Amino acid sequence: MSIAEVARLAGVSTATVSRALSGRGHVSAKAREKVLEAASELGYVVSQAASSLASGRTRNVGIVLPFLNRWYFTTVLEGAQQRLMRAGYDVTLYNLAGDGDERREVFEHFLLRQRVDAVIAVSLELTEPEVTRLHAIGKPLVGVGGPIPGVHTLAIDDVAVARLATEHLVGLGHTRIGLIGGDHESDADFHLPTKRRQGFEAAMNDAELPIVATRIADADFTIEGGYRAAKQLLGPLRERPTAIFAASDEMAFGAMLAARDLGLQVPNDISIIGVDDHDQSEFFGLTTVAQFPREQGAAAVDVLMAQLEPRDAEMPADTPLPFELRVRSSTSRPRD
Amino acid sequence: MSIAEVARLAGVSTATVSRALSGRGHVSAKAREKVLEAASELGYVVSQAASSLASGRTRNVGIVLPFLNRWYFTTVLEGAQQRLMRAGYDVTLYNLAGDGDERREVFEHFLLRQRVDAVIAVSLELTEPEVTRLHAIGKPLVGVGGPIPGVHTLAIDDVAVARLATEHLVGLGHTRIGLIGGDHESDADFHLPTKRRQGFEAAMNDAELPIVATRIADADFTIEGGYRAAKQLLGPLRERPTAIFAASDEMAFGAMLAARDLGLQVPNDISIIGVDDHDQSEFFGLTTVAQFPREQGAAAVDVLMAQLEPRDAEMPADTPLPFELRVRSSTSRPRD
DNA sequence: TTGAAAGCGCTAACAA
DNA sequence: TTGTTAGCGCTTTCAA
């Protein structure tokens, strides 16, 4: 089943079939119709391999992620994939999780096989050589959720997000505010833990509130990590914080569970705020600063499309990504 | 950068380069070495498009999933992807979630473009035409987690799993046992809800225990759904169940939270068991019947590889997939 | 074990 | 607007 058979059945040349099916180049309405009819009658679908070889375009985008088991990553992936599919593009998934050489393999072989037209890197701080390599083979690259030097990146302002969350607690009248930050091991790649901490500290300083070391604990962005960190922060009775800012919703969930296990009521005894607006945050009644990973994924695709298919879209403006405070029932004024 | 340049630098023909690099066909050690050296010196990586066109093999496998935001699916995906990558294969991801035509698009266009050598369908009951179409273009197909007529499928015995879970509760001495099953909307495709219910009923019948309609509630496999269902089951004081079998761990988590909110202690007042052995089950202390989605994904790849590259492996035997009771702290003898 | 050369199926420049 | 045709870069006979 090749383009030649379609051409024969439609009574035109293969070039016309190609033009009619791809949409590039001029084809008369009549010819287009004949081609479409013939193609559907034969159940013809173009061979990507042949098309790629001839045109140099694969209609395939690589998405590189550090993990698959975290809400943020899969949600970005979903947003990007949906938009790409609508544009007729495939998505090839490169998951870097694993014991060993995945990362090197991906960057030294998989991505260089001329299989993708572009790459989306999610929450990954690529190294200089990794970026260079991709640029060298002329592949557009866009980052989501993490800063990559010299690359168009879509990311929320993590400092501002943390500041907003902290200010919400300050605004409610809290003065003893704890922080569950991200540890650096679990996120070596994106400086998110540092930034969210900076925002926290900035807000505390502005409010002239003390930043107390014993009210700061690091965790690994999981529920369990948040649980442990909260137990640590809330354990001592004296000078216990009345509010906690957790750098992610999943850690905030853990903190809420820890509070309950300690016999503390949320929000009466302890207010808790997170970041993300995770699928389950509504269920937990968690106040949070929402970011919109699905939209972030889709926006990344728009940026790529502007480069890959300059005809139908101009480059989207480089606007900062939105975030938004969502007040629910996990925060309130302190009881005092 | 093409194979010709490598050939020139190595002082051999393009055919020899191809053979040396792909490993098929005989090449002298000397020639192979020269080729490898030249290739690495030039940073040469084969063009997949050209290779595919010439050989008819893409070294790419399509994985089709109904959602991305559930632990089971992403874990299967991760297991499959890791193994495929190790074999030098790419993974193209087809996520059917979305508002509309995704499914038709995927099966009528994306999968037919000769972009994949094989397809793995996760928790999807493909229709007759969908299967036929794939077979018609000669693409091996394997299913994970859901039965597909006429297709090699890897799935645990859901009836047996549910029976095992229920028998655990019966064995502890429970007689009033509730079920949180799956509703059919959220999983139209795999008959898992029905099967797990069958297993539950079989175990109850064997133990000569009554199956009471008010002790059965359906949910959508989410925490929130499990929470609601449990509230419903545990609300009435009289004849309240002393144990609940939830058809998934995420629903079981919800049930545990609901129990707490009702002032019930797990396991003293209510025992809860799930299915999956979710990442977080250990943290919640949830007793569960573990299945091993990562291994299921990897096993699916083994089946495909046996078909795609018959040389290096015989077809793995069609053994039933393992599952295993994991007793933790959410189940105990009833108090009575 | 190696090399020459004929495609694989399509696209895009060019000509008509 | 359409057709002719030369590649795209690789694999794989076939012959040596």
pLDDT value for A190: 63
- List, for residues A82-92, the tens digit of each pLDDT value: 999 999 999 99
Q: Are A121 and A142 in contact (CB under 8 A)?
A: yes
How much of chain B exceeds pLDDT 90, in percent?
72
Angstrom distance (rounded) from CA A254 to CA A175: 22
Higher pLDDT, B100 or B132: B132
Residues A174 and A226 in one domain: yes
Residue A312 has pLDDT above 70, yes or no: no
Q: Which residue has the tokens 């990553």?
A: A73
Query: Band of the pLDDT at B314, cuts 50, 70, 90?
Result: low
Angstrom distance (rounded) from CA B44 to CA B28: 20
Taking the CA atoms of B295, B297, B303 and B306 in sequence, report the sign of the dihedral they define: negative
Residue B188 has pLDDT above 60, yes or no: no
| Spatial distance from the CA of B129 to the C1' of D8 (Å) | 35
Domain contains A38: yes
Q: Which residues of A179-196 are buried (b: 16+ CB within 10 A; e: fewer)?
A: bbbbeeebbebbbbbebb
Range of the domain at B38: 3-46
Domain contains A334: no
Query: Band of the pLDDT at A311, cuts 50, 70, 90?
Result: low
Residues B25 and B63 in one domain: no
Chain B CB contacts of A77 below 8 Å = 68, 93
Nucleotides in chain D near protein beta carbons (<7 Å): 1-5, 7-13
Average pLDDT of A200-216?
96
Report which residue type is found at A109: H
Chain A CB contacts of B115 below 8 Å = 48-49, 60, 90
Angstrom distance (rounded) from CA B154 to CA B152: 7
- List, for residues B247-256, the tens digit of each pLDDT value: 999 999 999 9
Domain contains A228: yes
Give the number of domains in chain A: 3
* Residue of chain B whose Cα is closest to the Cα of A40: B108
pLDDT value for A247: 95
Q: Which two tokens stand for residue B274?
A: 């799930």
Residues B108 and B193 in one domain: no
Average pLDDT of B62-80?
94
| Spatial distance from the CA of B42 to the C1' of D12 (Å) | 25
pLDDT value for B24: 84
Domain contains B33: yes
pLDDT value for B190: 62
Q: Which residues pair with A120 in a beta bridge?
A: A63, A142
Residue A313 has pLDDT above 60, yes or no: no
**Residue B7 DSSP SS3:** helix
Per DSSP, helices labelled H in chain B are 3-10, 14-22, 29-42, 48-55, 71-86, 102-108, 128-136, 158-171, 192-206, 223-234, 249-261, 281-284, 293-308
Q: Which residues of B225-242 are buried (b: 16+ CB within 10 A; e: fewer)?
A: bbbbbbbbbbeeeeebbb
Report which residue type is found at A167: E
Higher pLDDT, B216 or B136: B216
Residues A149 and A170 in one domain: no
Angstrom distance (rounded) from CA B325 to CA B93: 32
**What residues approach strand C to within 7 A at the CB?**
A 2-4, 14-15, 17-18, 21-22, 24, 44, 46-47, 50-51, 53-57; B 11-16, 19, 25-28, 30-31, 50, 53-54
Report the CATH number that the domain containing residue A111 is assigned in CATH.
3.40.50.2300
* Residue of chain B whose Cα is closest to the Cα of A53: B49
Out of A46, A49, A82, whose CB is closest to B98?
A82
Residue B207 has pLDDT above 60, yes or no: yes
Query: Band of the pLDDT at A258, cuts 50, 70, 90?
Result: very high
Angstrom distance (rounded) from CA A10 to CA B101: 28
**What residues approach strand D to within 7 A at the CB?**
A 11-16, 19, 25-28, 30-32, 50, 53-54; B 2-4, 14-15, 17-19, 21-22, 24-25, 44, 46-47, 50-51, 53-57
Choose the mutation target among B53, B103, B277 for the interface with A, i.e. most A CBs under 10 Å.
B53
Chain A CB contacts of B116 below 8 Å = none
Residue B315 has pLDDT above 70, yes or no: no
Report which residue type is found at B318: D
pLDDT value for B97: 86
Average pLDDT of A9-33?
92
Closest CA to B287 of B107, B144, B167, B156: B167
Chain B CB contacts of A58 below 8 Å = 49
Contact B279 A69 (CB under 8 A): yes
Residue A314 has pLDDT above 70, yes or no: no
Residues B124 and B22 in one domain: no
Contact B49 A114 (CB under 8 A): yes
Closest CA to B276 of B237, B248, B299: B248
Residues A271 and A313 in one domain: no
Domain contains B335: no
Angstrom distance (rounded) from CA B58 to CA B149: 26
Residue B313 has pLDDT above 60, yes or no: no
Domain contains B51: no
pLDDT value for A250: 96
Nucleotide nearest A55, CA–C1', reads C11
Contact A49 B52 (CB under 8 A): yes
Q: Are B172 and B334 in contact (CB under 8 A)?
A: yes
> What's A176's DSSP letter?
S
Residues A184 and A137 in one domain: no
Residues B249 and B178 in one domain: yes
Length of chain A: 336
Neighbours of A173 (CB within 10 A): 13
pLDDT value for B309: 80
Residues B186 and B285 in one domain: yes
Angstrom distance (rounded) from CA A279 to CA B71: 13
* Residue of chain A whose Cα is closest to the Cα of B109: A45
Report the CATH number that the domain containing residue A26 is assigned in CATH.
1.10.260.40
pLDDT value for B289: 98
Domain contains A275: yes
Contact B95 A81 (CB under 8 A): yes
Report which residue type is found at A255: A
DSSP string, A86-123: HTT-EEEEEE--SSSTHHHHHHHTGGGSS--SEEEEES
| Spatial distance from the CA of A18 to the C1' of D4 (Å) | 14
Chain B CB contacts of A114 below 8 Å = 45, 47-49
Contact A223 B75 (CB under 8 A): no
pLDDT value for A236: 80
Q: Whole-number mean pLDDT of chain B? A: 91
| Spatial distance from the CA of B25 to the C1' of C2 (Å) | 11
pLDDT value for B238: 81
pLDDT value for B189: 60
Contact B68 A91 (CB under 8 A): no
Q: Whole-number mean pLDDT of chain A? A: 91
Contact B95 A112 (CB under 8 A): no
- List, for residues B231-247, the tens digit of each pLDDT value: 999 988 788 999 999 99
Host H or E run for residue A296: helix A293-308
Residues A67 and A100 in one domain: yes
Closest CA to A280 of A246, A244, A253, A247: A253
CA distance B166 to chain A (A): 28
Residues A189 and A286 in one domain: yes
Which stretch of A7-21, B219-233, B302-316 has the lowest confidence by average pLDDT? B302-316
Domain contains B325: no
Residue B164 has pLDDT above 80, yes or no: yes
Residue B311 has pLDDT above 70, yes or no: no
Q: How many inter-chain contacts (A to B, CB under 8 Å) are there?
A: 120
Residue B38 has pLDDT above 70, yes or no: yes
Residues B246 and B170 in one domain: yes
Average pLDDT of B30-36?
93
Contact B78 A97 (CB under 8 A): yes
Residue A167 has pLDDT above 80, yes or no: yes
